[in-house]
Structure 1
Amino acid sequence: MTDVDATAPRSRGTALPRRLDIQGLRALAVALVVADHLTGRPVGGFLGVDMFFVVSGFLITSLLLNEAEHGGRIRLGAFYLRRARRILPAALLVLAATLLASRLVLLPGRFDDIAVDAAWALGFALNWHEAATGTDYFASGLPPSPLQHYWSLGVEEQFYLVWPLLLIAGLALARAIRTSRVTGTGRPSARRTTALLAGTVLLGSLAWSWAEAAASPATAYFSTLSRAWELAAGALLACLAPRLRGLPRAGREALAALGLMGVVAAAVSVDAAAGLPAPGALVAVAATVAVLVSGIGGDDLRTASVLRLRPVTYLGEISFALYLWHFAVIVLAQALAPDWGPGTRAAALGTALALAVLTHHLVEEPLRRPVNAPRRRRAWGPRPALAMIGVTATALLVAVLVPAPGPVAGPPVAIPAPTAGAEAGREPPTAAESLRAELSAALAATEFPALTPPLDDVVEQGINPELEPEAGCLNPADLTDASRCRHGSGRRQALVVGDSVAIAWLPALREALGPDWTVRGYALSNCPFAEVAVAVVEDPAGSQRCNEARDVLREQVRAARPDLLVASDSELNIRRMADAPADLVGAWRAAVVRTVDAVAAPSTEVVLLAPPPAGHTPDGCITRFAEPADCAGSLSPAWAEKASAERAAASQTGATYVDTSGWFCVDGRCPLFAGGTLVRWDIVHLTRQYAAKLAPVLAEALAPVLDTAPDTGGPPPAG
């Protein structure tokens, strides 16, 4: 999303009339985006970016057409210079300030990732970097980069790198064709030629977007090819604008009303499951076009009067600066205050607004006006802007060259002896009791000890290798083969099923069971063990795959006939049932009962293993200023609901329910580490180090089950 001055360029005959309703549209768009990032509401607040694309395509193409019609040509150099003057000062300032703040606040490992994002953002190519690295705008369990929103600037600038060239080539071709057909050198219709180009781009990109959103949603969201149709929609409207000036006022009033209602309806109803950008953004794009059409004959419509209110139009004026600042402020504020309460959100919003106002008046306005503008129009003058550029350069140098202080690693956490110790003839503490002592010590700690995996490489060193695609444990390419993910060669067979949370348990289960067991994993992302239809807003493709694969999953588990079946999945799944039953606990219990009865052979021992409680990520929580208590979490209502349902289902089916809450929490508080080992590498998945740490505890919990689990005596599965 970029800032476009509707009155530029200011060469004679090319200025566009100032439209307050467009500023109002910008205000509405940025308000939706900020509200979405700040509160998660409205559900379709991200569509504000799609609105910006349409408005941008309309204004930029209008300027290019005016220049072609009045000057006879499009001056590429002047166009790109204007773009740079409007975009670069504020964009570079926010980028540099974000880098500096990240250097001072965040861990070195996370800062390194942000620095890479900054390099891509400087080249206006961050959208392709996000697509290439598999970033999912909606579904990542890791904290986002404070520069992630720069992807939209990349889309626009890539479009405008090519769009003027297409117009120039199209006009030249049209002129050549006309000259060859008639005597003389008549001037072709710039609008007709541009309309043909815009229509072609719109249809081609829309088709591409629709297909890519179905095949690769994460790529489609960031791809310029999938986004170009939104800019082209605005461009096509710019071509048709003269023909629409004669619309009757009543029709324009109706268009304005329908457009505003369409924007609101889309914002409160469209989510990631709709397919983005197409078809999910179609309503928002069409509604934005309708509002733009309504103002072509004059922006004095009664139905759109709210867009012309001075506070609204001022928000539109600072919308570019606010867009740049808001996400960086929100992400850094979340790092400093992980609980993210109302007070912190209000402070983040106020900070972003204040920075946007200062940036607009001290940087954008002085640098966008020509140096020969009257003094009264340059009230701020160039000096503050030049000073801000100096600040930007200094911040960049400091962020890149000055070593970042990491979090101070305190001494090892003092772990009190468990109350059930080996004193006075008492039995040695159990593994669970020893772990509880470590958890209690972590909750009492006032500083972070040296942690494993190391804080500068938590994800790479903490992730369980079985979660990687090549392991074949999660999302296997061939669902009819449940034998690819296999560990050990023991005669007794264990099968772990569920979602990615289940696969994260594999290191613990392998060690807990020992060499007499062959352990296999067979799971789909966001797909619970319980046979329920799921609707995961953040992963619509995964939801569809899960729902369609139920028969295959059931048959594979049934055919495996393991001695031990261990099922585990995220606590979030109980809130993802597609039909959203009023009685979540009852519906989940019934689904688990049906599933156990359907897949478990009489000789199979079934264990329902409770998931780790969701909580803060190390990267998102531990900063130079954080204390261990800041990163402690608690058991969520969803975790408790799922536990209640599965405990009841286990009782009804004869399965064993293993309550893991004591492996992560003490008296309802759940620290981020225990004994120097980090619990999670994202919000739900165990680090492989903590999974290994849990092996003795898991072995104790499974001992009663293993004593009764029969030995089938069959050979290990092939494959």
Structure 2
Amino acid sequence: MAFPPAQLEEVSGEPEPGRGGADRSHVSHKRADLQGMRAIAVLTVFANHLFGWPPGGFVGVDVFFVLSGFFITGLLIRERETTRAISFSKFYIRRVKRILPSALLVLVVTTIGSYIILPAARAAETLLDALYAAVFVSNFRFEAVGADYFQQGQPPSPLQHYWSLSIEEQFYFLWPALLAAVFAGTRRLRRRGIAWAGHWGLLVVMTVVVFASFGWAIILSASNPNSAYFSSLARVWELGVGALAAILGPWLTRIPETIRPALAYLGLSGVIISLFAINSTDRFPAPWAALPVLSTAVVVASFHGSSVRSVPLLTNSVARWFGDRSYTLYLWHWPVIVLLLALVPRGAVFYMTAAGLSLGLTAITYRFYEDPIRQSNWLLDAATDTGQAGNRPVARLSVNAWASIGALVATAAVVLIASIHYDSRLSETRQSVAAAVARDANAKEGAQVTQNPCFGAPAMMKPDCALYNPQLPLEPSIDAYATDSYKAALGDCYRNVPTGKAIEGNLTACTFGSDSDDAVRIAFVGDSHAAQLTPALWPILDSNKWRLTTYLGTTCHLAEPAPTGCRSALSQVTAELVEGKYDLLLVSNFNQGLPEASYEKAWAPVSAAGTPIAVISDNPHTTEDAIACLTRAAAGPGGIADCGSPRSEAFPATNSQAAAAVAVGASVIDLSGYYCTDDFCPSVIGNVIVYRDLTKDNSHITSTFAATLAPAVEAGIQNALLPR
């Protein structure tokens, strides 16, 4: 799960305007070592997203969370000690000045870029992502979308990195109020001369928050990793650790000077180790995030209340440059990578262009936009007007504030215009999807789908058919392929279980096809890779007098041990098969590397009972570039026929399903020749887009392409039913 870092703060507050009525109560004194930590964090996240290296580069987000918790808490405590109060208005004005201008700029540019570059359906999703990001709740959206199995295989949102910014803003919204409440609650003790009551109160409250959040993160990381990754409750402990470092400031000043450099290197070593010791398969954010989080806290503590020295890796001029611009680089790098990937294949040109654009946009934005705004009198001038009732200071909006309001109105206008254009483009997509659903529904009722002999899968068997004819349209269209799913037509006949959740219970048995007394009874069992083939089955049922009963659900492949969440349901289906309720068992599922013995153990009792078995081989797996290539090719002349992936990368080294089928005497319906040539698996076959999602763990095919497999599937089932 390689995802982005969090937004950053000045060490002791944002530098406020330096002229006129500016508020000078918060002066920035940047700790050079922590600027270096910012640089390391953002560069490792950038490298992880761009190159996939280092494998644990995504822990940069955890480094940022700790730093932000430390900076903000220290700022609030110092303000409380200096002014005897916390000004919520000043705090949030500083946050707005620091965060909002660049965040809105990137949102607007990315939304416009997505409309120009991406397919309509995906661009519309990006617009929705932008709306959530603008109000700092995008982590809730990505948590919800990620929990939907049918969304998992889609390309990442160019605004996905706003999830961490949202978590930080939620922390900023609640923590000042909680801190003020603690000080208010300990006021009586402090009036009695117990001066340390406020600090101890903060220490107790934040310690409880940290341990409660960490405990919840451990539970959620084990039961639902996707939710844990985006959950505010499972992440707040990381900001809390930084807050504890700020609260413990008076004690940290007592650290002996002689060991401070060693502590800094110890913490830095822990962060570097985490970049290589942690990867996306580990439980995250708990317990594994504890390594970078605690290591960062050690670096924070090492020079707290002392001058920074002897850490050149963190304090050099290059590290300071990137540290100052880390928030800006964080905002730009992800949309640049995602949108550029839709135009340029991975390779030297892509890597150099992505790096150059990200750094260039960062430098320009920081120099001419972000820093001037932060240094300006934006939002409110302390000017005075004389009212009729007397000489009372009256706050008035500055020119900069009116300009900002204008910018916000312009942003809203851009979003509104984009929405109108998206709706226009999406209407065509909806028509395409509706046609696909209608086609599936007609096939479901037994209607025959007529098509030319070079349309879809049959084109692979005809030398005179082109994989792609530019004179004919693609089906489904570039805008519609990602939503061309069996789900709408299959409905409740597929039990969808969100990833990471285990739900026991029966699978819904749905029956299609012939209702005659002498119909051949076929049980179809499998996961989403079986369900995606139903458009190939519906048109051939009535003409062959076949009655198909489906038992389909997430990860419900017929194997031993049975998958969690399908165990009882698959046991019931197996019992019915052994009892002779069906004339044929048809199975298919994602070939996820289960050993041959797992399938053989589950299928052997059915075969021994005399029920024939037919195994439909899994489709090849596609690659990110093979799908992104379609968008790139659609943006320019030709190229679509070249989109695809090498056959050597598309199939597993060993086919345990086929081996198990041979062992139990089952038939294998091998469709690989309809997906691939001897050395290449194209993304478009007979003007039909083959895949609707792209990850190696999904690689589902479009319903349109599945329907064109009907003749091949029909021949395979007929062969399986022949007397042995």
TM over 0.5: yes
Structure 2 equivalent of residue 4 of structure 1:
9
Q: Helix, strand or coil: the match of 2:585? A: strand
| Correspondence 1:253-264 to 2 at 5 A | 253-264=261-272
485 and 90 in structure 1: CA distance in 2 versus 1, 3 angstrom threshold: same
Structure 1 equivalent of residue 177 of structure 2:
165
Are 1:705 and 2:720 matched, yes or no? yes
456 and 644 in structure 1: CA distance in 2 versus 1, 3 angstrom threshold: closer
Q: Distance in 2 between matches of 1:460 and 1:119?
A: 22
Are 1:625 and 2:640 matched, yes or no? no
Which sits farther off after the overlay, 460-469 or 659-668? Answer: 460-469
Q: Distance in 2 between matches of 1:206 and 1:137?
A: 26
| Correspondence 1:236-247 to 2 at 5 A | 236-247=244-255
Q: Helix, strand or coil: the match of 1:570? A: coil
Deviation by residue 1:397-439 (Cα, 9 ceiling, x = unmatched): 45642647969x9xxxxxxxxxxxxxxxxxx989998432689
Q: Assess if the C-alpha contact under 8 Å between 1:103 and 1:399 holds in 2.
A: no
Are 1:607 and 2:614 matched, yes or no? yes
Are 1:147 and 2:171 matched, yes or no? no
Structure 1 equivalent of residue 374 of structure 2:
368
Aligned letter for 1:701? G
Deviation by residue 1:218-275 (Cα, 9 ceiling, x = unmatched): 3332222222111111111100022012223454344333322322333323344433
Structure 1 equivalent of residue 360 of structure 2:
354
Say which of 465, 469, 473 aligns to 1:445: 469
Give 1:84 shift: 0.6
Aligned letter for 2:531? I
Q: Assess if the C-alpha contact under 8 Å between 1:266 and 1:284 holds in 2.
A: yes
Structure 1 equivalent of residue 590 of structure 2:
570
Say which of 632, 648, 651 aligns to 1:640: 651
Q: Assess if the C-alpha contact under 8 Å between 1:656 and 1:705 holds in 2.
A: yes
Q: Assess if the C-alpha contact under 8 Å between 1:100 and 1:395 holds in 2.
A: no
Structure 2 equivalent of residue 310 of structure 1:
317
Structure 1 equivalent of residue 509 of structure 2:
484
Deviation by residue 1:679-703 (Cα, 9 ceiling, x = unmatched): 2321211222322221122112332
590 and 530 in structure 1: CA distance in 2 versus 1, 3 angstrom threshold: same
Say which of 325, 339, 343 aligns to 2:332: 325
Structure 1 equivalent of residue 116 of structure 2:
104
Structure 2 equivalent of residue 517 of structure 1:
546
Q: Helix, strand or coil: the match of 2:635? A: coil
639 and 671 in structure 1: CA distance in 2 versus 1, 3 angstrom threshold: closer
Are 1:497 and 2:525 matched, yes or no? yes
Give 1:450 shift: 4.9
| Correspondence 1:86-101 to 2 at 5 A | 86-101=98-113
397 and 103 in structure 1: CA distance in 2 versus 1, 3 angstrom threshold: farther
Q: Distance in 2 between matches of 1:554 and 1:198?
A: 49
Structure 1: 5+ residue runs without aligned partners?
A: 373-381, 410-427, 533-544, 578-587, 710-719
| Correspondence 1:30-109 to 2 at 5 A | 30-109=42-121
314 and 446 in structure 1: CA distance in 2 versus 1, 3 angstrom threshold: farther
Structure 2 equivalent of residue 692 of structure 1:
707
Q: Distance in 2 between matches of 1:226 and 1:311?
A: 34
Q: Distance in 2 between matches of 1:202 and 1:650?
A: 52
Structure 2 equivalent of residue 278 of structure 1:
286
Q: Distance in 1 between matches of 2:148 and 2:50?
A: 18
Q: Distance in 2 between matches of 1:137 and 1:36?
A: 25
Structure 2 equivalent of residue 462 of structure 1:
485
Aligned letter for 1:706? L
Q: Distance in 2 between matches of 1:335 and 1:46?
A: 22
Deviation by residue 1:523-551 (Cα, 9 ceiling, x = unmatched): 5545665658xxxxxxxxxxxx8369679
Structure 2 equivalent of residue 174 of structure 1:
186
172 and 636 in structure 1: CA distance in 2 versus 1, 3 angstrom threshold: farther
Deviation by residue 1:591-648 (Cα, 9 ceiling, x = unmatched): 5545543553352323232222233586884365155527721354354335655444
Q: Distance in 2 between matches of 1:307 and 1:439?
A: 62
469 and 128 in structure 1: CA distance in 2 versus 1, 3 angstrom threshold: farther
Q: Distance in 2 between matches of 1:603 and 1:353?
A: 66
Q: Distance in 2 between matches of 1:103 and 1:493?
A: 49
Q: Distance in 2 between matches of 1:445 and 1:30?
A: 45
| Correspondence 1:416-431 to 2 at 5 A | none
Q: Assess if the C-alpha contact under 8 Å between 1:127 and 1:155 holds in 2.
A: yes
Number of aligned positions between the proteins: 650
Aligned letter for 1:223? S
Structure 2: 5+ residue runs without aligned partners?
A: 1-5, 16-22, 379-397, 429-451
Q: Helix, strand or coil: the match of 2:233? A: helix
Aligned letter for 1:308? T
Q: Distance in 2 between matches of 1:522 and 1:328?
A: 41
TM-score normalised by L of structure 1: 0.80
466 and 47 in structure 1: CA distance in 2 versus 1, 3 angstrom threshold: farther
Q: Distance in 1 between matches of 2:168 and 2:241?
A: 13
Give 1:394 shift: 6.0
Q: Distance in 2 between matches of 1:79 and 1:138?
A: 41
Are 1:220 and 2:225 matched, yes or no? no
Q: Distance in 1 between matches of 2:63 and 2:610?
A: 59
Q: Distance in 1 between matches of 2:458 and 2:689?
A: 16
254 and 367 in structure 1: CA distance in 2 versus 1, 3 angstrom threshold: same
Aligned letter for 2:574? V
RMSD: 4.0
Q: Distance in 1 between matches of 2:263 and 2:576?
A: 60
Q: Helix, strand or coil: the match of 2:234? A: helix
Aligned letter for 2:10? D
Say which of 675, 681, 691 aligns to 2:692: 681
Taking every aligned residue pair, what percent have the same amino acid on both sides?
33
Q: Assess if the C-alpha contact under 8 Å between 2:263 and 2:302 holds in 1.
A: yes
Deviation by residue 1:92-136 (Cα, 9 ceiling, x = unmatched): 111111011111111222211111111111111111222233457
Which sits farther off after the overlay, 103-112 or 275-284? Answer: 275-284
Aligned letter for 2:8? D
Q: Distance in 2 between matches of 1:510 and 1:327?
A: 42
Structure 2 equivalent of residue 401 of structure 1:
417
65 and 599 in structure 1: CA distance in 2 versus 1, 3 angstrom threshold: farther
Aligned letter for 2:133? A
Q: Helix, strand or coil: the match of 1:462? A: coil
Q: Distance in 2 between matches of 1:137 and 1:24?
A: 39
191 and 102 in structure 1: CA distance in 2 versus 1, 3 angstrom threshold: same
Q: Distance in 1 between matches of 2:706 and 2:525?
A: 16
Q: Distance in 2 between matches of 1:448 and 1:392?
A: 44
Q: Assess if the C-alpha contact under 8 Å between 2:41 and 2:63 holds in 1.
A: yes
Aligned letter for 1:98? T
Give 1:69 shift: 0.7
Q: Helix, strand or coil: the match of 1:2? A: coil
Structure 1 equivalent of residue 431 of structure 2:
none
Aligned letter for 1:471? Y
Q: Helix, strand or coil: the match of 1:246? A: coil
Give 1:366 shift: 1.1
Structure 1 equivalent of residue 495 of structure 2:
472
Q: Assess if the C-alpha contact under 8 Å between 2:617 and 2:671 holds in 1.
A: yes
Structure 1 equivalent of residue 574 of structure 2:
557
Deviation by residue 1:334-372 (Cα, 9 ceiling, x = unmatched): 2113x4234313321221111111111112211112459
Q: Assess if the C-alpha contact under 8 Å between 2:485 and 2:703 holds in 1.
A: yes
Say which of 341, 344, 369 aligns to 2:347: 341
Aligned letter for 2:693? D
Q: Helix, strand or coil: the match of 2:54? A: coil
